[in-house]
Amino acid sequence: MARSAARTLTGAAPSPDEAARAIPAHEDARREIRNWYAHLMGERRVSAATLVNYHRDLTRFFEFLADHLGGPADLKALATLELRDFRAFVSHRRGEGLTSRSVARTLSSLRSFYGFLDRTGIAASATLKALRSPKLPHGIPKPLTMKGAETLLEGARGAKVEWIAARNVAVLTLLYGCGLRISEALGLDREDAPLKDVLRITGKGNKERLVPVLPVARDAVDAYLSLCPHAPVPGGPLFVGTRGQRLDQRQVRQTMIDLRHSLNLPETASPHALRHSFATHLLAGGGDLRAIQELLGHASLSTTQVYTEVDPARLLEIYDKAKGRR
C-alpha cells in the first residue's frame, strides 16, 4: 500500500494489484477495481498520467464512501448508491477546495469505473450519468512571449551543476521546440538518442504522431548526454535525476517555478505553457492550423483553434484568407 502511494506521488502508475490494495474498499469491490484497472492498462492502454488521476479519484471516492456509509463499500453498496450520494461526494470534494475542472475530471473517472461495472453486469451507471458535470470556464492558453521563452531557456543554463543545467535546457527545449507534453519528453528512452530528424511520439489516447526535431533541440540533447554522469541503461530513460532514475515531472515543474521567480516571468510560466508557446508562435509565424493540430496530437481541430484567440490579428488573417478562397 505504501509502495503504491509512493508511486502515485511520483507520477508513476501502480500495478492493478497495487491499485486495488491501496483503495479502502470491500474485498469484492477491490477485485473489480483491479479488473477495471487492468482493463485500462491492457485493452484501453491509457497513459500513466491518466491512470494516476483515475486511481487518485477512485481512492477519494471510496474514502468518502467509507465515512458516508459507515464502512468500506462493497459491490452491493456501489449498485444501490443514489443520485444524492454522488451529489454528497461532489459537495464533499468542493468543500476540500476542488475546482470545477477537477470535479469534472473526478466524475469522468467515476463514470469510467461504473461504465466498466455496467458492461460486466455488476452495477448500472445510469444514476451517475444523470449527474451533470460542472460547466468549465473557457480558458485561453497563456503562452510566453518569444522573448520570454528565450529568456527562460537561457536562464536554465544557470544551474550550479553543469550536467543538470544541460539536462534542464534539453528538456525545456523539447517542450518549446517540439511542442511535447512534459510526460512525452520525460517518457523518451536512451535509445531515442541521438535524436533523428523526426520523433515518433505516442500521446494521449495512445495516438501516435510524428514531430520534426529542430537542430537546436538535437544539439541540446547531445550536450546533455555528453555531460551526464550516469551510464546509459538498455531500455532506460533518456532524462534522469541525480540518482540515475527517470526524471520526475515534479522536478521539472519546480525548475520552472525557480526560473520564473529568478527571471521575473509570469506565474503562468509552466512546462505546459511552453507547449502553448510552441503552438502560438507557430501560428503567429504563419503556421497552418491543421499542421499545428497534427504536431500537437490534438484529436479535434476545435482544440487547436483556441490558439487563434491568443492572437486575434492572426485569426482575422486566417478568416480573410478563407473568405478569399470562396
pLDDT per position as a tens digit, 109-156: 999 999 999 988 888 878 888 888 877 666 677 888 889 999 999 999
Which residue shows C-alpha cell 509570469?
A: 266
> What is residue 310's predicted lDDT score, i.e. its pLDDT?
67
Catalytic residue numbers, as ranges: 181, 204, 272, 275, 298, 307
Range of the domain at 250: 146-324
> What is the Cα gyration radius of the chain?
22
Give the residue ranges of the chain where pLDDT is below 70: 1-12, 136-139, 310-326
Tell whether 253 and 288 lie within a shared domain. Answer: yes
* Together in a domain, 124 and 155: no
Is 25 within 8 Å of 62 (Cβ atoms)? Answer: yes
- Given 129, 159, 187, which residue is the final one in a domain? 129
Residues 256, 171, single domain; the answer is yes
Q: What is the CATH number of the domain that holds 206?
A: 1.10.443.10
Q: Please report whether residue 309 resides in a domain.
A: yes
Shared-domain flag, residues 88 and 163:
no
Residues 163 and 46 in one domain: no
Residue recorded with cell 535546457: 169
Do residues 117 and 194 share a domain?
Answer: no
Shared domain for 29 and 177, answered yes or no, is no
3-state DSSP call for residue 190? helix
89: CB partners within 8 A, 6+ apart: 61, 64, 65, 68
User: Do residues 73 and 120 both lie within one domain?
Assistant: yes
Q: Using CA atoms of 149, 154, 156, 161 in order, give the dihedral in degrees to the nearest 10.
A: 170
pLDDT at 301: 79
Domain count, the chain: 2
- Give a yes or no: residue 31 inside a domain: yes
**Measured between alpha carbons, how far is 42 from 178 in angstroms, rounded to an integer?**
29
Helix (H, G, I), strand (E, B) or coil at 98: coil
Q: Please indicate, yes or no, whether residues 163 and 312 belong to a single structural domain of this protein.
A: yes
What's the confidence (pLDDT) of residue 202? 87
Claim to verify: residue 229 and residue 98 sit in the same structural domain: no
> What's residue 26's pLDDT?
94
Is 137 within the bounds of a domain? no
The reported pTM is: 0.63
Indicate whether 236 and 154 sit together in one domain. yes
**Residue 189: helix, strand or coil by DSSP?**
strand
Query: Quick check: is 140 in a domain?
Result: no
d(CA 127, CA 1) in angstroms, rounded, equals 31
Same domain, 79 and 119: yes
In a domain, 141, yes or no: no
Last residue of a domain, one of 85, 101, 129: 129
